[in-house]
Chains A and B, each alone.
Chain A
Amino acid sequence: MNVSICMNGGYLVQDEQDLVHRAQNGDKEAFTELYETYFGKLYRYVVARIGNRAEAEDMTQQVFVKAYKSISSYRWRGVPFSAWLFRIAHNLVVDFFRKESKRPTVPLEESLVASNDNVQQVVERRLDIERVMAATRQLTAAQREVVSLRFAGGLAIAEVARVMGKSEGAVKALQHSAIAALRRILLVGENGVKG
């Protein structure tokens, strides 16, 4: 039995393995607990990838429905459960863009911003989101994936590597190049606005 005590998604790995095992045996409450742990992270990742709240909601639901149906096929074998879940999300995002290729730009919705903020905060937040999302769209596909998994999904580098099927070293290099590229793009944007 694995007695690792690494934290993963707010859980001890051992706790999570137990939950997964129970969920595989049909324990709904265990699956619900896994769902609660990853729901917000997955939603943030999907929104960051596709920039549309309603589509992101549908897709987040689909991820969990697919996960529930196929959880019996999940085997630990060094692949964290989080990586397995995000892999499902990644595949759905890829399919989404494949199907939506004729509509490349997705309008950002105002509803991405919490409605209880005041008007000025809403406007500022919306501008920030638009600016960063526009910048991420200029990254390569792999860079964008790293940024979304790491900063929106909140995955550790090892988990990102598992989701993307790359080595940790390759992901760290992608992370570096992605942040550097984002900085350049955001600075150009700021200077452009000022100029």
Chain B
Amino acid sequence: MSKDREFNNILDECLERLLTSGETVEQCLERYPEYATELEPLLRTAMVTRETLTIEPSVEFRARARYQLHSEMDKSAVRRWRPILTWQPRWVMVAAVVMVVMLAGGGTVVAADSSMPGTPLYGVKLATENVRLTLSSSDVDKAELYATLADRRIAEIAYAIEKGKLQQVEKVTKRLNNHLAMMSHLSLAVEKIEVVATEKAPAPVKDKAAEAKPISETAPQKSAANQPSATTARPTVAAEDNQGPSARAMSENAAGIKERAKLRILLGQYAVNQPEQLRALLEQAPESARPAILQAIAISVASYKKVLEELNNQSDDSPADEDTHRDRSGNSPANGDSNQDQSDDPPANGDSNQDQSGDPPESNRIHRGQSTKPVSDSGALH
């Protein structure tokens, strides 16, 4: 081995120890005293460079980015190809759970429910949670479940801190952050879909006069009753035809409002309790676990704040506000086809040529001042 190559290896080994194992420059130099003079200035320069280039993303950007990613995932999910072996209809999942319970004994699943990270049944606990999520039929149920699971994760973090299992603290905190992200995303999706349903409720009256009216003014009964006599025949038929769907939409909307109110109360409690519990854990946590917990506190506060603001806004909305919501939700399910471009260049293929191929169209890309704002211009995300 040439001397240069040997020195490059030693330099890299020292850097690896400094960067990942927390070793000091002095400790590295003691390992290689014969190279100390040459190594020291390089190691110190590398450490200054590393420290200076450690520029963290802001909490606001983190939250905004997470929201945008989930929106993208929703749009793309419909078209995602799934291998036949991993796709299971709901009844297969139910059958699987029944089988697991029968084979392992119901007691196993029950016992697993209170298991903690690092214990033998913890995997069963997580698997059971996944099944519960799969079986949850609505976004509201799923959002509630994610909030409940966040509670469980906090209890597990407390356990891991108490037992001094620091790696588990980090892992469980990541899971907690994911649950909070999913809770936030699903709660906002609930709001979006219900707003869209409210807008679709009015009958699709074909009359031009009716069409010219803003959507919020075209409530079906009013539009039928207020038509001039020359157009009475058609609107009446239209009103009869649409009474069913509109009544159904109203009843669905009423149910949606109830669900939302329930969700708001539940999340309101978690919004207070979970950050408080995490702050209490922060005081007991060793130094190395603090950054992860601090991040979880920030995410928890930001997630609940955003969701509750949205849910509260929704409950306070007057009909005039609906246009704002329509703009806000316009990107979501309706635009699902906008990124059919699954043919992205395999990114590892050397130079990208995004102008010619793989990239999503301009409208689909994330731009500052456009889609980087999470929820229209409300600035609700902080």
- Say yes or no: A57-B170 contact (C-beta < 8 A), given A79-B348, A151-B49: no
Contact A112 B55 (CB under 8 A): yes
A132 to B351, CA, bound (A): 27
State which of B155-163, B219-227, B245-253, B359-367 sits at the interface with chain A: B359-367
Q: Write the nearest CB–CB distance from B135 to chain A, whole angstroms.
A: 15
Among candidates B16, B19, B50, B86, residue contacting A25 with C-beta atoms closer than 8 Å: B86
Q: CB of A73 within 8 A of chain B?
A: yes
Contact A92 B372 (CB under 8 A): no
Contact B55 A132 (CB under 8 A): no
Contact A69 B42 (CB under 8 A): no
Q: Write the nearest CB–CB distance from B216 to chain A, whole angstroms.
A: 33
Q: CB of A67 within 8 A of chain B?
A: yes
Scoring B residues 322 to 358 as 1 if CB is less than 8 Å from chain A, else 0, what string do you get? Answer: 0000000000000000010110111110111011001
Contact B8 A172 (CB under 8 A): yes
Contact A175 B69 (CB under 8 A): no
Q: CB of A147 within 8 A of chain B?
A: yes
Q: CB of A61 within 8 A of chain B?
A: yes
Among candidates A48, A157, A169, A175, residue contacting B55 with C-beta atoms closer than 8 Å: A48
Nearest B residue to A31, CB-CB: B73
* Residues 106-142 (chain A) with a chain B CB within 8 angstroms: 112, 114, 128-129, 131-132, 136
Q: Write the nearest CB–CB distance from A69 to chain B, whole angstroms.
A: 5
Among candidates A35, A58, A79, residue contacting B372 with C-beta atoms closer than 8 Å: A58
Q: Write the nearest CB–CB distance from A62 to chain B, whole angstroms.
A: 6
Contact A179 B352 (CB under 8 A): no
Interface size on B, residues (CB 8 A): 68
Contact A44 B73 (CB under 8 A): no
Q: CB of B181 within 8 A of chain A?
A: yes
Q: CB-CB < 8 A to B86: which residues of A? A: 25
Contact A165 B344 (CB under 8 A): no
- Say yes or no: A172-B12 contact (C-beta < 8 A), given A91-B352, A154-B19: yes
Contact A69 B9 (CB under 8 A): no
A62 to B366, CA, bound (A): 7
Contact A28 B73 (CB under 8 A): yes
Q: Write the nearest CB–CB distance from A59 to chain B, whole angstroms.
A: 9
Among candidates A36, A40, A84, A176, residue contacting B56 with C-beta atoms closer than 8 Å: A40
A44 to B359, CA, bound (A): 23
Contact A70 B344 (CB under 8 A): yes
By CB atoms of chain A within 10 A, which of B4, B50, B65, B347 has the most?
B347
- Say yes or no: A33-B8 contact (C-beta < 8 A), given A28-B182, A44-B55, A58-B366: no
Q: CB of A188 within 8 A of chain B?
A: no
A43 to B65, CA, bound (A): 11
Q: CB of B81 within 8 A of chain A?
A: yes
* Residues 73-95 (chain B) with a chain A CB within 8 angstroms: 73, 76-77, 80-83, 86
Q: CB-CB < 8 A to A151: which residues of B? A: 19, 46, 49-50, 53
Among candidates B9, B41, B182, B341, residue contacting A32 with C-beta atoms closer than 8 Å: B182
Cβ-closest 9 pairs across A and B:
A91-B352, A88-B347, A70-B344, A172-B8, A152-B53, A151-B50, A61-B366, A132-B52, A183-B45
A61-B372, A72-B342, A176-B11 given; 20 more Cβ-contact pairs under 8 Å: A10-B170, A29-B182, A32-B66, A36-B178, A39-B65, A66-B347, A84-B347, A88-B352, A91-B347, A91-B352, A147-B53, A151-B49, A152-B53, A157-B12, A157-B16, A179-B11, A182-B45, A182-B49, A183-B41, A186-B48
